[in-house]
């Protein structure tokens, strides 16, 4: 029979093995966690860009009878961007496909709003440090 003293080195080995496994697994776990958090923030930013472009295009098709419609659409798009600094481009096209000023638009014409944003990653992983995001929404005037 083995005495209690003979079994203690095995328990020390088990503790040492657990420590080595822990030190091997923790960096991988932290890397995966950081990637998931950064992906979540990036996805939120992309969805905000899409929603802001849609909001601006909707304003351009319904309530934009002002003399400076493009400025109103740009302001609404940037205001709907959930705090993101969006670059906005507004283009109006006639039913015949000819570009025109947004103030001369009539029913059947289209308004295209393009919102773009550059997402700066928190933890630069395999993709670098910046991810460009853009969304373009085209709606017909009602």
Please state the φ and ψ torsions of residue 80, each to the nearest 5 degrees. Answer: -90, 5
Average pLDDT over residues 16-43: 91
Q: What is the pLDDT of residues 61-77, one digit of tens each?
A: 887 766 688 888 999 99
The Cα 139–Cα 99 span in angstroms is 14
Q: Which residue has the higher pLDDT, 110 or 65?
A: 110
The CA-CA-CA angle for residues 93, 99, 100, to 5°, reads: 85
Q: Using an 8 Å Cβ cutoff, are 61 and 142 in contact?
A: yes
Residues in the chain: 142
pLDDT at 4 over 90: no
The mean of the pLDDT values for the chain is 86
Radius of gyration of the chain (CA): 28
Predicted confidence (pLDDT) per residue in 40-96, tens digit: 999 999 999 999 999 999 998 887 766 688 888 999 999 999 899 999 999 988 888
């Amino acid at each position: 029979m083995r005495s209690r003293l003979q079994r203690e080195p095995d328990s020390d080995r088990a503790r040492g093995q657990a420590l080595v496994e822990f030190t091997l697994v923790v960096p991988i776990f932290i890397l995966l966690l950081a990637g998931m958090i950064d992906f979540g923030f990036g996805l939120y930013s992309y969805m905000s860009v899409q929603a802001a472009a849609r909001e601006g295009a909707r304003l351009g098709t319904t309530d934009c009878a002002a003399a400076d419609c493009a400025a109103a659409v740009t302001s609404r798009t940037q205001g709907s961007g959930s705090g993101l600094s969006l670059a906005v481009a507004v283009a109006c096209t006639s039913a015949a496909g000819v570009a025109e000023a947004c103030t001369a638009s009539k029913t059947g014409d289209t308004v295209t709003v393009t919102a773009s944003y550059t997402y700066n990653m928190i933890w630069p992983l395999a993709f670098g440090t910046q991810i460009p995001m853009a969304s373009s929404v085209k709606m017909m005037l009602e």
